[in-house]
Amino acid sequence: MEPPEIIEIDQTNPVCDGGGGALGHPKIYLEMGSKSEIDCPYCGRHFILTGDGAHTH
């Protein structure tokens, strides 16, 4: 089994469609809130908030 794809983002509201065009999944909008990482519940893509959008604690 392959590890999930890791995608660096700069906003807290990533959109995921699984990639691969018609072979993906329905487009969903993820809301990170105060978290700096989130996984897509369909395909497991791992989104990491980086750069200016990253939260500092």
On whether the CB atoms of residues 46 and 7 are closer than 8 A, the answer is yes
**pLDDT the model gives residue 57:** 45
Q: Residue 23's pLDDT band (boundaries 50, 70, 90)?
A: confident
Q: pTM of the full predicted structure?
A: 0.80
**Tens digits of per-residue pLDDT, 25-55?**
999 999 999 999 999 999 999 999 997 656 5
On whether the CB atoms of residues 46 and 37 are closer than 8 A, the answer is yes
**Domain boundaries, given as residue ranges, for the chain:** 6-32
Report how far apart, in Å, the C-alpha atoms of 37 and of each of 20, 21, 22 are. 22, 24, 26
**Tens digits of per-residue pLDDT, 12-21?**
999 999 987 8
Longest CA pairwise span in the chain (Å): 39
Q: Residue 1's pLDDT band (boundaries 50, 70, 90)?
A: low
